[in-house]
């Protein structure tokens, strides 16, 4: 078949979906929606079902207003509904961003290790993909980030905060330094105004923002001063609605208008819009577990930091998300496999030697701790000393 040559050796993206008792591999919220939330969603969807002979509202103003209200309650930052955009998961939102602002002859920049879907959006939109390394502790090396932006003159810069798979959140000063460097870019084929070409769009992917520790800022606070900033969020993680497929962003309304050009007509079904609004009406109940998950996360990190392996303590990256990256193991696959044999599925991802575990219910976290204790006692993991900190993930 006449497949595009750059797709020839590509496999579909996705973590293994295995039937295992303890699923700690894709950073979902482990708690199912409570019965009253399910009832509201069912009622809203039933009402939408009565109008399914019609196409849905293309611009879904009611859902955008609900999302703006949610952001104001969660972060204290009020954005206009016209500055909110949504799609089937924040993955589709970010694809819209690359469709509008990337493209042939253009470059997107990010900082590895980071989310492994980003290069796929670039590939699918024929955008050149460039990464620079993060610092060894996975924070952003601001000097290197600014130098990379100056050298590459990208039209899009992607920053995940908290980052996946490391959990690292960015301080406001780091995001501002990137925004300033991006504003100084002159994208070669961009429109000109006042004698200079437009700068790069900066996307801050805040899929895990609700899990940030007290004092960690949201990039939403920077929106008012930065028309080229887009902050993406999702209902898949903290909001306990990964199955819904609803991601969104906040940005200047002019940026949102550009995304309306590239979206497919009626991309957000009436059923999705109704279900999302039903879930958002219960935001307090759905977010009630987030504080508990944060506390469980901190406990899990402290426990992991107390483990010894190969004569040294395990390393655990500081995390503001609902997962932790830990290691390092000469044979991480053996550790992953040992956990799987004990009914615990985690994710073999990130830089060489590291593994990522999502925070589950207290019972699931206990099962993980028991299984990992057994696996480390078996000493299948090899000697930590052989692992170099290669950042390929
Ligand atoms: C899970 C995740 C998302 C969310 O994807 P959805 O399409 O909204 O489910 C976005 N970015 C990162 C870094 C993630 O880990």
Mean pLDDT of 140-153: 98
Residue 77: CATH number of its domain: 3.40.640.10
- Note whether 349 and 233 are same-domain residues: no
Q: How far, in Å, is the centroid of ligand 1 from the Cα of 91?
A: 6
Last residue of a domain, one of 232, 263, 281: 281
Peptide bond into 162 cis (omega under 30): yes
> Are 260 and 123 found together in one domain?
yes
CA–CA gap between residue 326 and residue 353 (Å, rounded): 9
Minimum-distance ligand 1 atom for the alpha carbon of 247: 8
Same domain for 212 and 112: yes
Distance set, CA 201 to CA 83, 135, 146, 234 (Å): 15, 23, 14, 19
> From CA 104, how far away is CA 117, in angstroms rounded?
19
Q: What number is the average pLDDT over the span 278-303?
A: 94
Q: What pLDDT, on the 0 to 100 scale, is given for residue 389?
A: 47
pTM reported for the whole predicted model: 0.95
Q: What percent of the chain has pLDDT over 70?
A: 97
Do both 305 and 327 map to the same domain? yes
Residue 346: pLDDT over 70: yes
3-class DSSP assignment, residue 277: helix
Task: Let me know: does 79 contact 71? Beta carbons within 8 Å.
Answer: yes
User: Same domain for 87 and 10?
Assistant: no
Does one domain contain both 276 and 315? no
How far is it, in rounded angstroms, from Cα 235 to Cα 276? 8
Residues 271-285: pLDDT tens digits?
999 999 999 999 998
**Could you tell me if the CB of 236 is within 6 A of ligand 1?**
yes
Domain that holds residue 121: 35-281
| The domain boundary residue, chosen from 242, 261, 281 | 281
Banded model confidence at residue 384, pLDDT cuts 50, 70, 90: low
Cβ–ligand 1 distance for 205 under 6 Å, the answer: yes
pLDDT above 90 covers a percentage of the chain that reads 90
Band the pLDDT of 159: cuts 50, 70, 90: very high
Query: Which atom in ligand 1 lies closest to the alpha carbon of residue 90?
Result: 8
Q: Which atom of ligand 1 is nearest to the CA of 205?
A: 11
Q: Which of 145, 89, 85 is nearest to 114 (CA)?
A: 145
Q: Is residue 361 part of a domain?
A: yes
What total number of domains does the chain contain?
Answer: 2
In this model, does residue 135 exceed pLDDT 70?
yes
Average pLDDT over residues 297-304: 98
pLDDT of residue 385: 47
Pick the residue whose CA is nearest to atom 10 on ligand 1: 207
Whether residue 323 is found in the same domain as residue 267: no
Q: Are residues 103 and 195 in the same domain?
A: yes
Q: What is the pLDDT of residue 15?
A: 77
Residue 145 Cα to ligand 1 midpoint, Å, equals: 23
Pocket test for ligand 1, best of 164, 239, 279 (most atoms within 8 A of CB): 164
* Shared-domain flag, residues 9 and 47: no
Q: Which of 265, 281, 297 represents a domain boundary (last residue)?
A: 281
């Amino acid at each position: 078949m006449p497949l595009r040559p750059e797709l020839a050796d590509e496999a579909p993206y996705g973590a293994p979906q295995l039937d295992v008792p303890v699923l700690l591999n894709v950073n979902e919220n482990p708690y199912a929606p409570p019965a009253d939330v399910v009832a509201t969603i069912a009622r809203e969807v039933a009402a939408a079902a009565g109008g399914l002979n019609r196409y849905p509202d293309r611009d879904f103003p009611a859902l955008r207003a609900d999302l703006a209200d949610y952001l104001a309650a969660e972060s204290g930052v009020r954005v206009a509904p016209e500055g909110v955009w949504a799609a089937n998961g924040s993955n589709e939102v970010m694809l819209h961003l690359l469709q509008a602002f990337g493209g042939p002859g253009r470059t997107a920049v990010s900082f590895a290790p980071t989310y492994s879907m980003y290069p796929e959006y670039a590939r699918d939109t024929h955008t050149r993909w460039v990464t620079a390394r993060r610092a060894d502790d996975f924070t952003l090396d601001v000097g290197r980030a600014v130098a990379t932006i100056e050298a590459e003159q990208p039209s899009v810069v992607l920053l995940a905060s908290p980052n996946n798979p490391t959990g690292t959140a960015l301080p406001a000063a780091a995001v501002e330094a990137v925004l300033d460097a991006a504003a100084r870019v002159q994208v070669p084929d961009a429109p000109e105004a006042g004698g200079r070409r437009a700068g790069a769009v900066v996307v801050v992917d805040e899929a895990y923002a609700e899990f940030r520790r007290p004092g960690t800022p949201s990039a939403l606070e920077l929106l008012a001063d930065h028309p080229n900033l887009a902050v993406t969020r999702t209902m898949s993680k903290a909001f306990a609605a990964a199955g819904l497929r609803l991601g969104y962003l906040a940005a200047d309304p002019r940026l949102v208008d550009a995304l309306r050009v590239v979206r497919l007509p009626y991309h957000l079904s009436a059923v999705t819009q109704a279900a999302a609004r039903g879930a958002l009406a219960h935001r307090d109940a759905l977010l009630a577990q987030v504080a508990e998950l944060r506390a469980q996360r901190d406990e899990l990190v402290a426990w992991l930091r107390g483990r010894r392996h190969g004569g040294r303590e395990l390393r655990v990256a500081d995390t503001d998300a609902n997962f932790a990256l830990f290691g390092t193991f000469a044979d991480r696959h053996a550790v992953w496999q040992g956990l799987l044999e004990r009914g615990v599925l985690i994710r073999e991802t990130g830089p060489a030697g590291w593994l990522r575990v999502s925070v589950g219910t207290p019972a699931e976290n206990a099962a993980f701790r028991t299984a990992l204790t057994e696996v480390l006692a078996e000493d299948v993991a090899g000697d930590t000393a052989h692992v170099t900190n290669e950042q390929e993930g």
